[in-house]
Amino acid sequence: MIDTLPVHHLSRVLSILNRGEVVAFPTGTSYGLAVNALNADALKRLTDLKGRAAEKAYTLLLPAEGVDQFVELRPQESTALQTFANVPLTLLVKPKPPLAHLAKDGFVGVRTADHPFTKELAKEVKYPITATSANTSGNPPGYSVDDLIKAFPKESFMAVDGGVLPQRPPSTIAKWTGSGWEIVREGGLKPFELKKIT
């Protein structure tokens, strides 16, 4: 059974995450699934819930304070995350030791906080959380709590009810190569906009 919370119950969300449990939440593209990315048991719970391969990487939402504890951001990456803070963007960046367990090919994906709720969550949370889409592996993302109930009919977790989200393109995934931007997946942010940052 999926229980719901209104978006202003942030303290409840933090309590759930601190216990190592899963929370669904609205993002700028679709609903996502969050767990404490430093908690191995929580990550396994999330992987089992989604039915995905254990080696597949998770996109992360970092706390607004203390980002340098978790990733090494080059100037271009920092500028891009600040410039496009309200735009669906995921940057592949170098992790520091606390996030090395989530690296794929030496990188982790860091997602912008592109929704009012995710911005508030990033201000309050003290550790990285996952920002993977709220769906089972290979299926479409969810845009409402009803979608989540249909996608996870036998599962039990909490969902922050942000209403029905507009269906938008996914986040653009990009990597700074040292000489320019490599676009891994084009989404809501067009490559020419990102490539203005050099």
Cα 21 from Cα 158, distance rounded (Å)? 9
Tell me: pLDDT of 108 over 90: yes
Which of the four pLDDT bands, split at 50, 70 and 90, describes residue 57? confident
Per the structure, the count of domains in the chain is: 1
Cα 197 from Cα 50, distance rounded (Å)? 35
Q: Is the Cα torsion angle 30, 31, 36, 40 positive or negative in sign?
A: negative
Q: Say which range, 19-28, 49-58, 67-76, 161-170, has the weakest mean pLDDT.
A: 49-58
Q: Domain range for residue 160?
A: 2-194
pTM: predicted TM-score of the whole model, two decimal places: 0.93
Give the per-residue pLDDT at 8: 86
Which of the four pLDDT bands, split at 50, 70 and 90, describes residue 1? confident
Cβ atoms of 164 and 148 within 8 Å: the answer is: no
Cβ atoms of 60 and 43 within 8 Å: the answer is: no
Cβ atoms of 3 and 96 within 8 Å: the answer is: no
DSSP 15: H
Cα 122 from Cα 86, distance rounded (Å)? 13
Cα 22 from Cα 160, distance rounded (Å)? 11
Instruction: Using CB atoms within 10 Å of the CB of residue 20, give its burial: 0 to 12 exposed, 13 to 18 middle, 19+ buried.
Output: middle
DSSP 100: G
Which of the four pLDDT bands, split at 50, 70 and 90, describes residue 137? confident
Mean pLDDT over each residue of the chain, to the nearest integer: 94
Q: In CATH, what number is assigned to the domain containing residue 113?
A: 3.90.870.10
| Separation in Å, CA 4 to CA 27, 47, 129, 161, 192 | 16, 21, 19, 6, 39
Question: Of 188, 145, 154, 115, which Cα lies nearest the Cα of 3?
Answer: 145
